[in-house]
Every structure is written in structure tokens, then in C-alpha cells.
């Protein structure tokens, strides 16, 4: 059992989770804390972030503070905050994100500028700034980890009015492959988790009520929406020893949505 536990342990590691106060980010942070890591969480709402960190600190080591990846100045300030709090960084979870929904005819410039600045440019810039710490913390056979949070909409041609969001996540997926190729020899693994429907603040408009959740679940091949334990297992796999040989992967966490097609091409699907 101890050998199995060691595959998913992050004890002694230091991690940063952006957007760590709510939703997927909080699940990632809570999981890493419970598995033994010292976790720094940052989000735009500093007070909320500190409150969540205090709650998670009951399970282990967690610190929360403000951090905004929407601007270059914000990313640089967050970088400096991290450097002041720790000399090493083993895990970076790029979770901070935003979205924008509107009909095609009304999808304006601001909808692209806002979403891409956070979901793509901010993610890249923070990763660039913290890469020296990640490289310095890597050990032979134990690489540092970058885990980006993508989306099934970055794989499927499905926007539902969130054109810039879906496009930004497709870009994150490809950037993951580029960085994985570039930094593997320097001891940093870079992967992405691409979630399908999870009941979070960002998806509350679609999944906040039981009838809506039931409808969404009916479209998923496995017959349900994602649960916190699905994310917990995925983040521990990619950050623990068990995922040390994995880099450049886009892990679909979508219940089969990304591979769903009609069951048959040349005859009618069975009812």
C-alpha cells in the first residue's frame, strides 16, 4: 500500500494554484494540500483567497493572497509575491480563467481581448516568469510539473456562444505541447487537464439547477457530469510520481464527450 500511495504523493512539494479559491482551482488546491504539498493559492479576490487558504490549512500547509493574471503588471506582481514566499516551486497549476458569451453577431473585440489576456497570455507569461524556479526544483527522475486547465471546448468545435473561450483553450492545448517539447530535457513536464461539464461557478448558468444538470448528464456518454474526485485523481496523477513519464498530454476529463460520434456511419444507430 505504501508503494501505491507514493505514486500519488506530493509530500514535500511546493505548488502554486492560480484561481485557487473557487471551482476547479479550489479542488486542485485542496487535493494537493491533503496529499502533503505546501500550496500557494492566488486569485483576484484576495480576501476570499485568504479565507479559503485558512480553511484548507486545517488539512495541511496553505497560503492565500491576491493575484491577477489579466495584465502584465498583475502577472509580474504575482511572480514577485511567489518569489518572496518560497525559494522553490515544484508544481504550477494554471487554472485562472474567464469566459464571455454572446451571439455571433454581437461578439465584439472586448470579448476576445478580455478572455485571451487571462486564459492564454497571462498563463504563458506567468509560466515564463516562474520557469526558472521550476527548473531549479527539478531532480533526476522527479521533474517539476506544469498543469494547465484546458477544456473539452478546446478539442471539440463547440462554443455555445463562448467563441473566445473555446479558442483560448485550443491555444492552451497546443501551447502545452510546445512547452512540453521545449522543457522536457530541462526537467519540467507540461500537461493539460481538459474538463467537460463540472458544476462550478463558471458553469452555474448551465448546471446550477438540477434539471439543467440532468440534461447535461444525458449528453455525456458515461451518463453523468464530473465530480470533484475525478479532478482530484487527475491532478494527483499528473503531479505525483505516477505521472513522471507523462508530458505533452491533453488529458480528457469529459466522460467521453471528446470522442463521441454516431455509433454507426453506414447504418442507422439503434434506438
Nearest CA to 203 among 112, 99, 110? 99
Q: How far is Cα 191 from Cα 187, in angstroms, rounded to an integer?
A: 13
From start to end of the chain, where are the E strands?
A: 14-18, 38-43, 61-66, 91-94, 144-149, 188-195, 250-253
The neighbouring-strand residues paired with 29 are none
Interacting residues of 68 by C-beta distance below 8 A, sequence separation 6+: 44, 74, 75, 77, 78
Among 121, 247, 123, residue whose Cα is nearest residue 188: 247
Task: Find the angle CA(241)-CA(26)-CA(68) to the nearest 5 degrees.
Answer: 105
* Grid cell listed for 210: 438540477
Residues with catalytic roles? 165
Please state, in angstroms and rounded to a whole number, the distance separating the CA atoms of residues 113 and 110.
Answer: 5
Amino acid at each position: 500500500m505504501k508503494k501505491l500511495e507514493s505514486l500519488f504523493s506530493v509530500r514535500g512539494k511546493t505548488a502554486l494554484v492560480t484561481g485557487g479559491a473557487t471551482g476547479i482551482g479550489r479542488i486542485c488546491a485542496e487535493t494537493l494540500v491533503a496529499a502533503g504539498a505546501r500550496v500557494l493559492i492566488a486569485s483576484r479576490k484576495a480576501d476570499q483567497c485568504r479565507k479559503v487558504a485558512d480553511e484548507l490549512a486545517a488539512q495541511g500547509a496553505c497560503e492565500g493572497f491576491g493575484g491577477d493574471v489579466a495584465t502584465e503588471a498583475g502577472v509580474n506582481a504575482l511572480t514577485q509575491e511567489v518569489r518572496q514566499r518560497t525559494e522553490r516551486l515544484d508544481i504550477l497549476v494554471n487554472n485562472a480563467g474567464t469566459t464571455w458569451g454572446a451571439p455571433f453577431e454581437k461578439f465584439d473585440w472586448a470579448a476576445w481581448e478580455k478572455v485571451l489576456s487571462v486564459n492564454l497570455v497571462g498563463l504563458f507569461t506567468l509560466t515564463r516568469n516562474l520557469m526558472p524556479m521550476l527548473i531549479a526544483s527539478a531532480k533526476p527522475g522527479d521533474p517539476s510539473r506544469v498543469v494547465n486547465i484546458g477544456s473539452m471546448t478546446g478539442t471539440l468545435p463547440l462554443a455555445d456562444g463562448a467563441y473566445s473561450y473555446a479558442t483560448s483553450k485550443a491555444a492552451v492545448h497546443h501551447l502545452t505541447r510546445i512547452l512540453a517539447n521545449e522543457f522536457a530535457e530541462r526537467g519540467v513536464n507540461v500537461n493539460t487537464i481538459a474538463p467537460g461539464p463540472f458544476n462550478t461557478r463558471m458553469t452555474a448558468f448551465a448546471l446550477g439547477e438540477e434539471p439543467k444538470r440532468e440534461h447535461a448528464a444525458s449528453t455525456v456518454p458515461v451518463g453523468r457530469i464530473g465530480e470533484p474526485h475525478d479532478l482530484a485523481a487527475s491532478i494527483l496523477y499528473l503531479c505525483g510520481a505516477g505521472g513522471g513519464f507523462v508530458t505533452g498530454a491533453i488529458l480528457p476529463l469529459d466522460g467521453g464527450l471528446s470522442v463521441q460520434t454516431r455509433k454507426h456511419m453506414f447504418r442507422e444507430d439503434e434506438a
